[in-house]
Structure formats: C-alpha cells, structure tokens
Amino acid sequence: MNSKVTVNVCMGTGGIAAGGDMVMAEFIKELEAAGIEDASVNEKCRLHKVGCRGFCARDVLVDVAIDGEVSTYQYIQQDMVKRLVREHVVGARPVKEWLVGDDYHTFHDNQTKIVLGDLGKIDPESIDEYMGVDGYKAAEKALTTMTPTEVIDTVKESGLRGRGGGGFPTGLKWGFCAANTADQFYLICNADEGDPGAFMDRSVIEGNPHAVIEGMIIAAYAIGASIGYVYIRAEYPLAVDRLHMALDSAKEKGYLGKKLFGTDFDLKIKVKLGAGAFVCGEETALIASIEGERGMPRAKPPFPANKGLWGKPTIINNVETLANLPHILTKGAAWYASIGSEKSKGTKVIALTGKIRNTGLIEIPMGMPLKEIIFNVGGGIEGDKLFKAVQTGGPSGGCIPQQHIDLPVDYEGLASVGSMMGSGGMVVLDETDCMVNISKFFLEFTQSESCGKCVPCRIGTKRLLEILTRITEGEGKEGDIDLLLELAEDVRDSSLCGLGMSAPNPVISTIKYFRHEYEAHIKDKKCPAKVCNKLLTFFIREDMCIGCGMCARACSVKAITGEKKQPHKIDNKLCIQCGSCFDACKFSAVLKE
Amino acid sequence: MINLTIDDKQIEVDEGTTVLEAAKELGVPIPTLCHDDRLKPFGACRLCIVEIAGMPKPVTSCTTPATDGMVVKTVSEKLHRLRKTTVELLLSDHPNDCMVCISSGECKLQELAYLYGIRENRFTGEMRDHNKIDTNPFITREQNKCVMCGLCVRVCEEVQGVGAIGYAERGFEARVTPPFGQNLDCEFCGQCVSICPTGALSGGIWAGKPRGDSVKFTDTTCTYCGCGCNITLRSSGDEVVRVDSDKDNHNRGWLCVKGRFGFEFINSKDRLTTPLIRREKGGQFEKATWEEALDYVAGRFTEIKDKNGADAVAGLCSARCTNEENYLFQKLMRAGIGTNNVDHCARY
C-alpha cells in the first residue's frame, strides 16, 4: 500500500464528549492491527488531534483521506472504527451509510471562514503545524516592519470591531490607549465566555490557540504593553490546557519573552482563571477580578483604555477579535474591509443552537441575512416545524420574529430591531416555544448572575422575574405587561454595567413582538405554545390509552386512576399540572391543552 | 479650571472635581444613598444620576468627572422616574418597620421614600432574610434592612484598613458579610455603624434607648486619649444614650471602639463621684470633698519632700490626657515639687 492515509478525529470538547478519544485510540489500535503503519516506510498514516470544525452535533466527526481524497464520517463511535479501517482504509471502499450528507456540505459551503479557517485542520497542540500555515508571520511582519502607529492604523482601516459584544472599533480603542503616558500598559484577552449556549471563544482557543497568542503579540505591540493576561473561565479545562501548552511552546520558540523577533519588544503573557461569574466578562469587573477583588463592575469613565488594570492604561480584547488580527496584518486592511457590510466589517463567529437542524459553530460574513443563516447554513427548523423567532446575543439580546427574517446580521441590523450581536449566540425558536417562558429563562440567568452592586439590576431583575413567573403560572394580573415594560426600561436605563443594561432586552423584545402571547397567558390563562404547565389541562385519550399504568405511576399526587389494560383517567381536581404523565406516556395518549 | 453648567447655573471647578461635588458647591441638591465624600465614589445606588448633553444615557454624578463645557441636568421627568423606581425597588425588599426602627428619623431610605412620596409600591415580592444574631455587644446587624450601598465595606477597607466585611453571593441573594458568614469579629470601631444610611447597622447598647425629641445633643471631646476626638453625646435626662461624631470635625467623624461604645461608665453605679481617702494603713476608704482630698495630698507631698528630698517623689501621667494637661503635670512635678522624676506611658 503506497497511498498516504490520514485520519482526522474531532477532538474538541464536543468531540471528546461524544467519545472522540476512544475513537482515536481505536483507530490507532485498528490501524496497527491492520498492519498499515508497518507497511509504510514514511509517515503514511497520521492521527491528528484536530479542533472544532463547528458541527459538534454530528460528533464524532472523522475524516479519512487517502491520496488527498477526503471522506468525512459523522456520528462515529468506537465500535464503528473496525469496519471503517477494514472497508475504507484497507479495502478502499468508503462506508457510504456513515458518510455525511449534503446538509454537511451546505453547512460548510455557505460560510466564510477566517477565524475558524484553520480549526479542524491543524493540530492545536503543535506550534509547528500552526507555523506550517504561516503562523507568527503576521506578528513578525508587524514587529519588524511596522511602527505601532502603523499597526493601529491598519486595524482602524480594516474596520474591525470588538467581537465580545460591544462592537467598538478596535483600532480606535487602541489609539485611545496608546495616547496615554504611563510606565506600564496592559493587554487583556477576554476569554470569559459566559452566555448560555455560546462556545465561540472556547472553540477558537481549543482549536487554534496560537492564533490568539499571535493576535495578542500584535495588539500588545500596537499599544506598547509588555504584560498580557488571558482571563479564561476555569470551566474550560481543555482550552486552558491547550492555551498553556501553546504559551509554553511559543515561549520556547522565542515568540514570547524578551526581544521578540530580534526587536526590543518584550511580552509576557499570564493566564488568570475566572471563578465562574458571568459578570466577569464585563471589562471593569474582569479587571477587578484580576486584581484579586470581587468581580464587580466599576463606573466608567475612567475607561480601562486610560485607567484599567492596576490603574494603568489597559486594552481588553475578545478572543475572536484577537484571532482576526493575524489575518488582517497578513492580507491587509483593504482585504478585510471588503468582507462584510457597510459598517460591520469582516466575519462573525456564531454559535447556532436551538430548534435548528444543523447546530454548531459557524462563521459568516457580516450582513448575511438571518434567513440565509437559519435556512441555508442551519438547514432550517428541526422537524419541519414553523419558525417563530431567533434570540441573538445571549441573555442580553432580544428575540427577532419572522417579520424580520431578511434582516442583515451585523451590529446595526440587530440593534435596529432591539437585539444585539453580543458575543454571537443565536438560539432558534420554533412554534413549540413559549416566548414568555423564554424571557423568563433568560431573566433567571441574568438575575442569578447579577453581582448585586447596583439596585436596578439586583432587585429590578428579581421583580421582573417574579412578574414573569406569575404570568407563566396563571397568576398574571391586568396591567402586568405595562408594569413589566416600565420596570424593564428603568432597569435598562439606570443599571451600572452592561449586564443590567441589557438584561431586560429579552422582556422588552418579546413584549414588542409577541404581546399576544403575554395577553393569552394573563387574560385567557392559556399558553399558546403549550409550554407553561400551570396553564394546561391534562387528559387521556381513551382510544390511545392501552392501560399500561406508566402515567399513574409517574403521578405524584395520585390523580390518575384506571384498571390494568383499561383506559386511565386524570382527575383534574387533584392534578397539579406537573407534566410527569405527559412525559411518561409512550403512546402519546396524554394530551395537554 | 473647568467651566460647566448645572441646571442653567455656571460654575468653575478644579480638574478632577466630580459632577456631584460641583453641584454641591452650587447648592443644587442631588439625592444619594451610597455616597460619602470621605470615601471613594462607588456608583451603586443609581440615585445621583444626571443627564449630560451628548451622553446617550443618564450617568451617576458621583463617579463622573466634570469636563469643560459640560451641560448637566439634575432634574427631569425621566430622572425622576428612574430615581423613584430605584427607591420603590429598595422598599420592596425592606422590612418597612420604621416605627420600631432605631434609625427612624435619621434613615436616608426613609427620607427618600418621603421625598418621592411612595405610599404605594408598584413592586412586591420575595424579601431577603439575611438577619443574623452576632454575639458581640457593640454592633447589631439587621441585614434585612441593608441596601447594599457598600459604605460599611468601604469604610472598613479605606479608612480603618481592616477589611472585616465584604460581599458574598450573587443576584438577589448578594449580601455584606464577614468571611464565611461567621459572626462579626473585628475591632468594633463602629465606623460602619456611623456610616450606615439605614437601620441595618446600629450600636447594640443603643437599642430601646430614647430617640427623637427627648434626646439632647451636647458637643464635647472624648476623654479616652490625647487625640481629642470631637464627639456628640446624646442624652436623655441624666443618661447618655449614644455617642456620635460629626463628619466635619478634625477627626472627620471617625471614632474608635472606646470613644463610640465605651460610655456606659458615665452612668455606672461603680463609678467614683467623690474623692476617697484612706486615712490610715489598713483603714477603709472614706468619702471626702475635693478640697479635703487636695489638701491631704499636698500635705503628704510636702512631708515626704521635707523628710527625703524632692526626688523621693515621682509622677506618672497618661497618654489619655491632653497635651495641655500633660504640660501642666510636668510643670507641677518640676516647678511645684522640684523633681525631674516625671514620665507617662508615651514618654515626655
């Protein structure tokens, strides 16, 4: 066998969770058993650890390439490896039924990958592989051929804006910082990704940590920072490990430390683990946390660019922002500015989740219409249900309804309908989602993550949540919608930091677009999406019930009675609408209305 | 210098002045709850918000530095609405038991409720239950009344340098607490008590004591040490019920545990109110007048000096006395008695 065989196993957090490490071990074992490694003189068969390619829902994803011809398999488990090796690697007959389908290709082909470009292709634990794709060339170019001002100007011209949520022009922020006179400047990489369902930063660090480090070198050089921090969640152990590994190997190669690339520029990067507070993603709270204080936001001004960590000028950039920099420096500002929409340049990495066929990590050019993201890249709504809304920007964002499906996804577009880009979370909702319940879900999150410093956020979000809860439990009162809106606006307008300012967005946007659902809950005591159990009546269809008794056993208040093999009945006076019978019935005989 | 306009009034202030300080100088009232000009600005209560031309949202005046040409509005319908909502939210999580609260009449939250005319509250719901009975006799914590202004935490850190309390938990359950929720165990200086805007922190020995009109205020000087902190005694009838200190004093209102809480000796049964003389060895102390006692002491000093010389007498004074008293004491010893044997615990 003279063909060069390469097997790539997805080993991101998603891949490992799906059994990637076992699949990989099995490949090593089976390839050895098949004598393939012995047969090759050169390194013919390589097993890569590759990072996330964005399609975690199909994990474990495996590429088998023979002579450069790549076949991609999905849902691979340990016990499937033997057949893959036997039939595909040895027998040169791909296992057709396990190959990915057309949707896998529409998912990838409609994306524009810059930040995610090398993810899933290179081994994140090898600096040589990163250098093999021109890694650290951009940093070298910046440090050896450009002045810091030229770097700032290039980033300004590129139109790059902060990817952490705020969307502030990166080059402009650097310019403010560099204009200070100080004995020390700091650069912080914000990897405290906390939005529920968001995993953009985690995937980038896990899949290509060197790109982030290279971005940090460029940013630090531009502002004159000799010390950098990566503030990363402790809940991302794999990302933390790979980051440490990457920092160590960069140091060994001389890309970090003293006199980088033969210049007089020094840079030391430290890693600081977050302790799991959502608010520490807010830059002033993040600074407080690095300083050893409780993660509580501070008033701005002064802005961190002028007075940040330890009172020194500090730039805080998000992981994705930094990972864009090597590409901008290599290919030029004009190239970057040519991608995207008028005011939002480049691409955005989005975590696409919810009731959608292709969930995963995607990268799209700014300005791509929502419709294309959901129906082309995302493959449409799961189970062919009706699209209802999409929640963007995580718990701080808003819900965008059907009527705005053609909206371009960029900073301005999302803001114009009361939502936001945020860090790039996108949760697709279908007709079976209750919008009151959705806004309650997000409020539960923001309320429990409020630091408690300022009154509107600490007590205001609590009262919002209580009103929402009573509406979903059928205790909603006349006037509750107006009260919600009044309070939501006041919390938005008077809170101290971004958490409180944006926490009411889900409430405001769902009332704006789905007021009728709120009214149905309050006036008719009905949940149109049949989600809020307290507003539902449960009953058993006699013609469907086979009398198995599962529902009766699941009922904690003994509201269900019936003889064996005879249709059962629910006593609605006793029923507490917990929904256990509905979940327990295997014959769809329990209905709710 | 910086020129700015606040509510159509012009003012010139130094660089670094906050909008709140500038407004104060102009006599423009802005409500605050978490602010104290002796501490660093915090920006937590959101009551001092103002509108500044060119800024998209109201900002807190306590944290915003004045800049040249700034145009500030401290009163508007919007600001009134936001401030009122904040006060209502605070009251929705407050016991509202002013009638039996030790801080009634001196409570900033009570005053705000009055200013914003909050008879009915739009917001009701769960209330925190963070009360904890401490074992110390000095500081009583009624945390259900805490408004999380952070003044106590900051005074402990910034002024006292102790850091005995901090924040714990998140969201609605966020609270101020000693480490690990244990009993308060600190110096008990009571700076936190003096700065608490509500009844959340109070002196244990004040409880149930008269307040309001029946209390007389007397400015005096603390006698515990030579620092001479200015204090204000609150008394009712013959009894001192509480000690305060005005923040405009040279000690800026800060006191120590003795000055603030150590006043029970004044009305103590064990306190000496007249001199006592023991006329012979092994005899009983007998009450005497000051004249009698001073004559007796002077007589004995003269006796000892005549018999054994002036250096047989030595004087030891106290750091608790003022400079003037200590000066007079050494004068008495050196010029009156004629000895240099004079000292005190902090040395002359």
User: Which residues of chain B have a CB within 8 Å of the CB of A452?
Assistant: 148, 167, 169-175
SS3 at position B163: coil
pLDDT band at A40 (very low <50, low <70, confident <90, very high): very low
Chain B's closest residue to A465, CA to CA, is: B125
Lowest mean pLDDT, pick from A58-67, A407-416, B54-63, B292-301: A58-67
* From A54-68, A344-358, A480-494, B21-35, the region with the lowest mean pLDDT: A54-68
CA distance B97 to B200: 12
A177 and A140 in a common domain: yes
A interface test, pick of B128, B170, B175, B176 with most A CB neighbours within 10 Å: B170
Q: Are the beta carbons of A454 and B45 separated by less than 8 Å?
A: yes
Question: What is the least distance, in Å, from the CA of B97 to any CA of chain A?
Answer: 19
Evaluate whether residue A559 is within a structural domain. yes
Show the tokens assigned to A179: 């204009």
- Of B156, B120, B127, the C-alpha closest to B139 is B156
Residue A2 has what pLDDT? 42
Mean pLDDT of A512-537: 95
Shared-domain flag, residues A443 and A585: no
| Residue of A299, A455, A501 lying closest to B90 (CB–CB) | A455
Name the DSSP letter for residue A535. Answer: G
User: A539: distance to nearest CA of chain B, Å?
Assistant: 33
- Assign residue A27 the CATH number of its domain: 3.40.30.10
Indicate whether A529 belongs to any domain.
no
List the single residue in A277, A296, A447 with the smallest CB-CB distance to B172. A447
Task: Say yes or no: A84 and A224 in one domain.
Answer: no
CA distance B40 to chain A (A): 12
DSSP string, B214-247: G-EEEEEE--SSTT--EEEEEEETTEEEEEE--T
pLDDT at A383: 86
Which range of A8-17, A82-91, A394-403, B81-90 scores highest in mean pLDDT? It is: B81-90
Q: Inspect the interface and report whether the beta carbons of A456 and B65 lie closer than 8 Å.
A: no
CATH number, residue A556: 3.30.70.20
| A179 and A303 assigned to the same domain | yes
Q: Let me know if residue A527 belongs to a domain.
A: no
Q: Cα separation of A241 and B190, whole Å?
A: 47
| Residue A277 and residue A218 share a domain | yes
Are A164 and A304 in the same domain?
yes
Average pLDDT (A230-249) is: 96
Q: What is the CATH number of the domain that holds A269?
A: 3.40.50.11540
- A299–chain B Cβ distance below 8 A for any pair: yes
Distance CA A499, CA A479 (A): 26
Do A295 and A148 lie in a common domain? yes
Tokens linked to A267: 């840079």
Confidence at residue A42, expressed as pLDDT on a 0 to 100 scale: 40
Nearest Cβ partner of A449 from B43, B93, B171? B171
Mean pLDDT of chain A: 92
B44 → closest Cβ in A277, A454, A461: A454
Q: Which residues pair with A539 in a beta bridge?
A: A591
pLDDT at residue A225, as a whole number = 97
Residues A189 and A236 in one domain: yes
pLDDT at A200 over 50: yes
Q: Do B125 and A462 make contact, defined as CB atoms within 8 angstroms? A: yes
pLDDT at B148: 97
**Residue A43 has what pLDDT?**
42
Task: Give me the residue from A452, A466, A501 closest to B170, CB to CB.
Answer: A452
Say if the Cβ atoms of A301 and B65 lie within 8 Å.
Answer: yes
Here the ipTM equals 0.89
Whether residues A294 and B122 touch (CB distance < 8 A) is answered with no
Among A56-60, A70-74, A421-425, A538-542, whose mean pLDDT is lowest?
A56-60
The CA dihedral of A410, A415, A421, A426, to the nearest 10 degrees, is -100
- Decide if A496 touches B, using CB distance below 8 A: yes
CB contact under 8 A, B170 and A460: no
Tell me which chain B residue has its CA closest to the CA of residue A482: B122
Q: Is the Cβ–Cβ distance between B156 and B184 less than 8 Å?
A: no
Model pLDDT, residue A45? 58
Q: Do A452 and B81 touch (CB under 8 A)?
A: no
Integer distance in angstroms from the first to the last C-alpha of chain A? 64
A577 shares contact with chain B (CB less than 8 Å): no
What's the pLDDT score for residue A46? 62
Locate the chain A residue with the closest alpha carbon to B92: A459
Tell me the angle at which helices A461-472 and A435-449 cross, rounded to the nearest 10 degrees.
150
> Other CB atoms closer than 10 Å to residue A78's CB: what's the count?
17
Write down the pTM of the prediction.
0.89
Lowest mean pLDDT among A92-106, A314-328, A573-587: A92-106
Q: Do A391 and A459 share a domain, yes or no?
A: no
User: Is A418 in contact with A411 (CB distance < 8 Å)?
Assistant: no
Q: For residue A472, give the CATH number of its domain.
A: 1.20.1440.230
Q: Residue B171 and residue A494: Cβ atoms within 8 Å?
A: no
- Above 60 in pLDDT, residue A563? yes
On chain B, the residues whose CB falls within 8 A of the CB of A451 are: 167, 170, 174
Residue A128 has pLDDT above 90, yes or no: yes
Are A352 and A258 within one domain?
no
The pLDDT of residue A37: 59
Query: Does A70 score more than 60 pLDDT?
Result: yes
Domain total in chain A: 5
Domain end, chosen from A466, A488, A522, is at: A522
Instruction: Answer whether residue A116 is part of any domain.
Output: no
Boundary residue ending a domain (A490, A522, A554): A522
**pLDDT in the model for residue B237:** 93
Whether residue A137 sits in one domain with residue A94: no
**Separation between Cα atoms, residue B261 and residue B205, nearest integer Å:** 8
Q: Domain for residue A319, yes or no? A: yes
Torsion angles phi and psi, residue B173, rounded to 5: -85, 0
* Strands in chain B per DSSP E: 2-6, 9-13, 49-52, 59-60, 71-73, 139-141, 166-168, 175-177, 201-203, 216-221, 230-236, 239-244, 276-278, 285-287, 315-317, 342-344
Q: Which of A279, A450, A493 sits opposite B57 (nearest CB)?
A: A493
Q: What is the pLDDT of residues B243-263, one digit of tens each?
A: 999 999 999 999 999 999 999
Residue A87 shares a structural domain with residue A139: no
Domain with A50 in it: 5-100
B interface residues, A as partner, C-beta within 8 Å: 41-46, 49, 57-58, 60, 63-65, 78, 81-82, 85-86, 89-90, 92-93, 122-123, 125-126, 147-148, 150, 166-167, 169-175
Q: Which residues of A touch B89 (CB under 8 A)?
A: 455-456, 459-460, 463
- CB contacts of B173 in chain A (<8 Å) are 452
Residue B58: both structure tokens together: 């109201």
Please check whether residue A587 lies inside any domain of the structure. yes
Q: In 3D, which of A235, A232, A206, A248 has the Cα closest to residue A20?
A: A206
- Residue in chain B nearest A447 by alpha carbon: B171
- If you average pLDDT over residues B158-181, what whole number do you get? 95
Residue B180's pLDDT band (boundaries 50, 70, 90)? very high
Identify the CATH number of the domain in which residue A410 sits.
3.10.20.600
Residue A244: per-residue pLDDT: 97
Q: How confident is the model over B99-125, as a mean pLDDT?
A: 95
Q: Say if A115 falls within a structural domain.
A: no
Comparing CA positions, the residue from B113, B85, B81 lying closest to residue B97 is B113
pLDDT interval class at A490 (50, 70, 90):
very high
Percent of all residues in chain A with a pLDDT value above 90, rounded to a whole number:
77
**CB nearest B170 (choices: A448, A466, A493):** A448
Domains, chain B? 2-75 (3.10.20.740), 214-269 (2.20.25.90), 272-308 (no CATH), 310-348 (no CATH)
User: Rounded CA gap, A19 and A233, in Å?
Assistant: 23
* A452 has pLDDT over 50: yes
* Residue of A291, A446, A459 to mutate, testing the B interface (most B Cβ within 10 Å of its Cβ): A459
Angle at B105 between CA B101 and CA B110, to 5 degrees: 80
pLDDT of residue A108: 85
pLDDT in tens, B186-195: 999 999 999 9
Res. B113: pLDDT tops 50 = yes
Let me know if residue A106 belongs to a domain: no
Q: Encode pLDDT of A135-147 as tens digits.
A: 999 999 999 999 9
